[in-house]
Amino acid sequence: MPYAHITGWGMSVPSKVLTNDDISKMVDTNDEWIRERTGIRERRIAEERQSSATLGAEASIEALKIAGLLPTDIDLIICSTSTPEHIFPATACIIQDKIGATRAGAFDLSAACSGFIYGLNMAALAIRSGSNKNVLVIGTETLSRFIDWKDRNTCILFGDGAGAFVLQASEQPGGAYGAVMHSDGSGGDLLTIPAGGSRNPTSELTLRTGMHFIHMDGKEVFRFATRVMAGATNEAVEKSGWKLDQVDLVVPHQANLRIIEAAARGLKMPMDKFMVNLDRYGNTSTASIPIAAVEAVQQGKLRPGDKVVFVGFGAGLTWGALAAEWTGPKQATRRVVKLEWFPWIAPIRSFLRRLGRAIEGIIFGRKS
Ligand code: UT7
């Protein structure tokens, strides 16, 4: 049975920064309260031209560069997002087209902030079953488009960004090991965008009452999160046949520093074993774990051979964890690739396919 190694990683965040002071000009809050209650100092906000697909595509290209693969080497794309481009088509398909991953199947995964862990686990299982060799997992969000900027309970927390991992099959032991995925739909109303789906289609009423924005019971979500983080980490570690003290780094969902500190206390692990970067990005939902992992690598906190646990929680309710032995890029098999060309070639290819379909439509339309 092949192992599923993480051989590429990338991130993309908008350059526009929104500080706590900026938010204090919009709602009744202040920098001190936000920092003390959440640990967040600033977050990134997408420009008009940016979206979940553009950020996700940029993160994917970065991840492919590190893995030394071309988009055409990818056979499956799993895109986790709670802020998709549309209800359908899937954001994964839009990214597939943008990067020119012409051989890949592509689908979206909806498990909110736990989505990247769910996606990683699905990718690892697809590889371990022998069904796929090279899988791209993306976590991408433009949460700023779904925030009520008059609601101080939510607007202080969230930010935009994307992260991506490449997973590859290998006979060498390592990569993804034990994982757990949990859910409790009875808590679905604690964190939700109530309208815009089939239950409450968009209407004048849903717009007037702000049902198309994120609604959250912060206290209850906080309680739930502190309850499940340590447990899920322990489960993934046990499933891997490891002991907790063998874990080099935990990369938790970046929602609130107090939640991460509670998890550290629950696990009796020092805080320096937890990657934290929420001060600069806020909560980017499903993108927070891969963004934190990329920065952990950049800061030398996550090195080849390290035992790492990714753990998260979110709307659904969902929660989960995945333990992995960090592989790093497979230098020996790295090819010299013209990856830089793909973001230019892919739109031309996409245009030609649309043109071909239009011409076909004219020809067959005339015949029928
Ligand atoms: O990916 C999952 C996403 N969600 C989460 O992870 C959210 C988890 N929950 C949290 O992080 C926290 O519950 C919050 C940061 C949302 C809120 O922190 P809290 O310590 O639970 O505050 P609270 O809701 O208990 O409010 C305490 C006080 C209240 O005032 P009173 O009633 O004590 O006078 C609030 O009205 O703070 C007030 N408050 C604020 N004050 C200034 C609430 N929000 C703000 C604010 N600025 N933004």
Rg, the chain, Cα only: 21
Give CA–CA dist 117/210, Å, rounded.
30
What pLDDT was estimated at residue 335? Answer: 58
Q: Write out the chain's pLDDT in tens, 368 residues.
A: 899 999 999 999 999 999 999 999 999 999 999 999 999 999 999 999 999 999 999 999 999 999 999 999 999 999 999 999 999 999 999 999 999 999 999 999 999 999 999 999 999 999 999 999 999 999 999 999 999 999 999 999 999 999 999 999 999 999 999 999 999 999 999 999 999 999 999 999 999 999 999 999 999 999 999 999 999 999 999 999 999 999 999 999 999 999 999 999 999 999 999 999 999 999 999 999 999 999 999 999 999 999 999 999 999 999 999 999 999 877 545 455 578 788 888 999 999 999 999 998 888 876 66
Domain boundaries of the chain, sorted by first residue? 3-333
What pLDDT was estimated at residue 368? Answer: 61
CATH dotted code for 3-333: 3.40.47.10
Give CA–CA dist 5/299, Å, rounded.
21
Instruction: Output the residue whose Cα is nearest ligand 1's atom 8.
Output: 222
Instruction: Output the residue whose Cα is nearest ligand 1's atom 25.
Output: 219
Nearest alpha-carbon partner for 289 in 148, 184, 141: 141
Residue of 150, 215, 222, 253 to mutate, ligand 1, most atoms within 8 A of C-beta = 222
Quick check: 316 and 111 in contact, CB under 8 A? Answer: yes
Task: Tell me how long the chain is.
Answer: 368
In ligand 1, the atom with minimum distance to the C-alpha of 285 is 1
In ligand 1, the atom with minimum distance to the C-alpha of 315 is 2
Phi then psi for residue 88, to 5 deg, are -150, 155
Contacts of 264 (CB under 8 A, 6+ apart): 270, 271, 273, 274
What pLDDT was estimated at residue 332? Answer: 46
Phi then psi for residue 367, to 5 deg, are -70, -35
In ligand 1, the atom with minimum distance to the C-alpha of 38 is 15
Instruction: Output the residue whose Cα is nearest ligand 1's atom 48.
Output: 152
The residues annotated with a catalytic role in the active site are 113, 253, 283
Q: Which amino acid is at 204?
A: E
Q: Could you tell me where the beta strands, DSSP code E, fall in the chain?
A: 3-12, 17-19, 42-44, 76-80, 105-109, 134-141, 161-170, 175-183, 191-192, 215-216, 249-252, 307-314, 318-325
134 CA to centre of ligand 1 in angstroms: 42
What pLDDT was estimated at residue 148? Answer: 97
What pLDDT was estimated at residue 102? Answer: 96
Enumerate residues lining ligand 1, CB below 6 A.
29, 33, 37-38, 113, 152-153, 156, 191, 216, 218-219, 221-222, 225, 255-256, 283, 285, 314
In ligand 1, the atom with minimum distance to the C-alpha of 152 is 48
What pLDDT was estimated at residue 265? Answer: 97
Give CA–CA dist 139/133, Å, rounded.
20
DSSP 154-206: HHTTB--EEEEEEEEEESSS-EEEEEEEEE-GGGGGGEE--SSSSSS---HHH
- Six-digit token string for 14: 């908008």
16 to each of 51, 81, 142, 161, how far by Cα in Å?
13, 21, 13, 11
Return the exposure string of 88-107: e unless at least 16 CB atoms fall within 10 Å of the residue's CB, then b. eebbbbbbbbbbbbeebbbe
